Structure 1
């Protein structure tokens, strides 16, 4: 297997680990008695993203080769995730976890070691490609796209896979033993993480290089905060945090929202394809994401960076709004599909073009720190605040209720979902309009 294929396999498994549970764990958390904690499960990812990637980056720069640290991190993350799975097994399907605090703690450990691996996998790929004379700008994107494919693959797997009474099979029909509703999604993630750990130790060596001594401020990426002295950059980072508040909302609540229709008194709604295959349906979002990455160069060249960012902001309005007016049966299900399609624009057009803007505006000595600050404001600070705020809104309008289906009690998050989605859409609209009025990057 050639180098690019080996790196593509690494990326496939890197994001397959995440895709196994990210968009569907809320369904399990509700039945496990942790429904009120859903926003915290997603906020934890943002909190650890503020400091763990920096710490692991320093270790990879100075003490442990990146490909080995990537493997060790996945070993620890996978072991903690398998512990979560075992706690679910002990409790049983449909039962509350007896020790919720321990479950949250082990999930936190897993996420704390997984989140830095996203940056570490990029470091390994770039190092190997450069060492072997490849053009990273040309050769890395096709490798990275395999990561999105891996994410989609495990979403489809947990959507259809069933382990029931000692038998394993796949189905698109209603079945409460599907992995997307049970602790088995954590088993899939944990096993893939352990396999990737072993694979990482077969990857090309990334030798540690002697680097100049830098201050603690520089090593932690804090030197980039001086960019706030410039009005343009201060506004950009503030709006990055505001838009970041939208990032994890649908990851946390799209699944429970669509699945809640299974508890409907209308048989056509309860047995609809969408209501019983929420993870498969929302995977359209990731397909759109992969395709939209390829569209960014064209849109940037034709419309400029501010317009592209505005497209992202207003795409979030449609992302939430389409959920608010949709339903799992025709023609309402088309609104769900449109919501998933615009997600690619909403997510990619700001994250990728925002990174390009930061690279253009910053002096070479702080480019890396500035990118870290951008990620911290969006995926760290913004996503954490946004997820917790969204949780308060959803918990105000919706609640977990048990419904008997085929003689078995199942938990669904039901209530006034439409108001929730319209509140989220209104917030995104205010952010977009404010950005259009206040932010002026100038021509470059």
Structure 2
């Protein structure tokens, strides 16, 4: 019996689509978001642990993507719509962007140089998001049916990149002891390779010629008139304000997990990278999105948006309660589980927001209304939020580096003298090494690790291992009782607190990068901001849900 020929189209009737185009566009979306997901999740950890940048610089660097969102319409509108095929321009932008990602770790060693190159990359990458959408809509018979299907491949690409970074990449490279893959430049190199691959692949995409006329360089401003509507003014205003506090999640969740959560779960979660853990959010997003229409039908637009905002506030609250080590109010597992709220956070707020604009904006400014929503949220709001989050993180972080042996020795001598200990020189050097490590600095080890363990000296390294103060570490007292006499343990406990305060005093320690961070305050601030915006939204926002309540799919 003869083998039947391959199908010429996927779908039925007017919805039919060639399998080759489905494969090409699906792979394009997969790579488009794999590039982004490979570096975005772990970047904050690399900037802090690998390059020792401050929170303000980390926030500013994450803000470059928001600046790219603001200015990318100018690139697409002025160039793509007039002179170049979309797939060729996309290929060129990804090739150039890939080169920037590959040189970024070597040329971006200072905050200023890293920021400059990151901004250039954002200006190259951000237009490709619009180009990928444009190529897709041009070559599908029905965007309402096919775009969500093809866009799902993008979410899968993001998840796959995170899993690769967490599970496979560490096995392919040699890492220094006690260094995670997140604290290295390898995810950036991976993203650069993927970007170059997508650049070459883009030239094989279906031809998408220019329209021959200039597109709108600032399409968002055509929709300013929508603000005359009370409903739209409140919607856009609340969306703008709430996105400012949402930026905290994108910039610093990775750092928070690496600092406070992952160490507590080392026995349960074998992977040391935050990328696979944060992929929980994208999995939830992908699973919940198909049910968004049903939720809109039964709940109405106002309550869908409200639940989305509420989810952001609850997650921030759980993050805050999960900080503090042994004194945390919720367990580390609860914090990890709360990442799944990203499905509601993203789908019920961002995705529903675009639907609200599409359903309620006049047809002639509908596309401009979408551009205005993007500008206020992914653009201006996210940029302000990234900048603000960096300053708030710095506000609740003590940055100092142990200023060499001489300064550190002042603290160690206080402890040793008061506890009437007289260690040998090598033992004292190990004391100093432990304290420097506890405070995020480093000193050369005078003896090998096995020799250090044999000496059984007091565990000074525990003193800096809490969010705010060493006395918050519940295991410290037990360690002191084990290594010191009962009569001395209580006094030593107090002295370590005093030594910690002295260590962060600028008269003893200067210029540097060790961190003692109050994650509770860092997360409670955006949580309060979300709940305040939600209250305003619930009181003032009105919407005609008749435009939203389409019958759910069977």
1:82, 1:190 within 8 Å by CA — same for their partners in 2?
A: yes
Aligned to 2:53: 34
Task: Point out the more displaced range, 178-187 or 79-88.
Answer: 79-88
Within the alignment, does 1:196 sit opposite 2:198 as a pair?
Answer: yes
Give the TM-score of the pair, scaled to structure 2: 0.70
Q: 1:243: Cα distance to partner?
A: 1.9
**2:135 maps to 1:124:** yes
Q: What is the CA distance between 1:369 and its match in structure 2?
A: 0.9
Q: Can you list the C-alpha shifts for 1:314-353, whole angstroms capped at 9, x where unaligned? A: 0011111111222689971232233211111111211111
Report deviation, 1:413.
Answer: 4.8
Q: Is the 8 A contact 2:308 2:348 kept in 1?
A: yes
Q: CA RMSD in A?
A: 3.0
1:160 aligns with 2:167: yes
Aligned residue number for residue 297 of structure 1: 293
2:533 paired residue among 412, 416, 431: 431
Which residue does the alignment assign to 1:442? 544
Residues 1:286 and 2:273 aligned together: no
- CA shift in 2, pair 1:386/1:282, >3 Å: same
Per the alignment, residue 68 of structure 1 pairs with 88
Aligned to 1:355: 354
Q: Which of 114, 118, 121 does residue 125 from structure 2 map onto? A: 114
Aligned to 1:311: 307
Note closer, same or farther for the CA distance 1:175–1:26 as it changes in structure 2 (3 Å cut): farther
Could you say which residue in structure 2 is the equivalent of 1:92? Answer: none
Which secondary structure state, in structure 2, belongs to the residue aligned with residue 20 of structure 1? helix
Q: Does the aligned pair in 2 maintain the 1:261–1:270 contact within 8 Å? A: no
Distance 2:398 2:267 in 1: 21
Q: Of 148, 156, 177, which aligns to 1:149?
A: 156
- What is the TM-score when the length of structure 1 is the normalising length? 0.87
CA deviation profile, 1:109-163 (whole Å, cap 9, x unmatched): 111111111111011111122xxxx322212212111101111111122223456
Cα pair distance change 1:58/1:84, threshold 3 Å: same
Q: Give the whole-Å Cα distance in 1 for the aligned partners of 2:47 and 2:268.
A: 23
Contact kept, 8 Å, 1:162 with 1:177, in 2: the verdict is no
CA contact (8 A) 1:156 1:279 kept: yes
Post-superposition offset of 1:425: 1.0
Structure-2 separation of matches of 1:274 and 1:431:
38
Partner of 2:397: 398
Q: Distance in 2 between matches of 1:57 and 1:364?
A: 20
Paired position in structure 2 for 1:421: 523
In the TM superposition, residue 248 of structure 1 has moved relative to its aligned partner by: 2.7
Distance between the aligned counterparts of 1:194 and 1:399, measured in 2? Answer: 40
Aligned partner of 1:388 in structure 2 is 387
Q: Is this contact kept in 2: 1:12–1:147, CA < 8 A?
A: yes
CA contact (8 A) 2:181 2:273 kept: no
Match of 1:138 among 145, 168, 189: 145
Deviation at 1:47, TM superposition (A): 1.8
Alpha-carbon shift at residue 5 of structure 1 (Å) = 1.3
Shift of 1:178: 3.7
Label 1:403 to 1:155 Cα distance change in 2 as closer, same or farther (>3 A).
Answer: farther
Deviation (angstroms), 1:271: 6.5
Tell me the distance in 2 between the aligned counterparts of 1:290 and 1:66. 27
SS in 2 for 1:276: coil
2: CA distance, partners of 1:340 / 1:311: 16
1:221 offset after TM fit, Å? Answer: 3.7
How far 1:414 moved relative to its partner?
Answer: 3.8
Match for 2:187 among 185, 188, 212? 185
Name the CA distance, whole Å, in 2 between partners of 1:385 and 1:42.
11
Task: Rate the CA distance shift 1:67–1:322 in 2: closer, same or farther, 3 A.
Answer: same
Conserved 8 A contact 2:54-2:394: no
* Structure-1 separation of matches of 2:356 and 2:517: 41
Give, in whole Å, the separation in 1 of the partners of 2:270 and 2:531: 27
What SS is found at the alignment partner of 1:245?
helix
Shift of 1:420: 1.6
Structure 1 residues 338-377: aligned runs within 5 Å: 338-377=337-376
Cα offset, 1:44, TM superposition: 1.5
Do the aligned residues in 1 keep the contact of 2:322 with 2:332 (CA within 8 Å)? yes
Sort the Cα spacing of 1:70 and 1:399 in 2 relative to 1 into closer, same or farther, 3 A.
farther
1: CA distance, partners of 2:129 / 2:150:
14
Partner of 2:322: 326
**Is the CA contact (8 Å cut-off) linking 1:160 and 1:170 kept in structure 2?**
no
Cα offset for 1:363? 1.6
Distance in 2, matches of 1:420 and 1:219, equals: 35
Aligned CA distance change for structure 1 residues 422 and 197 (closer, same or farther; 3 Å): same
How far 1:22 moved relative to its partner?
Answer: 0.9
- Deviation at residue 277 of structure 1 after TM alignment: 3.3
How far residue 48 of structure 1 moved from its aligned partner, in angstroms, is: 2.2
List runs of 5+ in structure 1 lacking aligned partners: 89-96
CA 1:84/1:416 → structure 2, altered by over 3 Å: closer, same or farther?
same
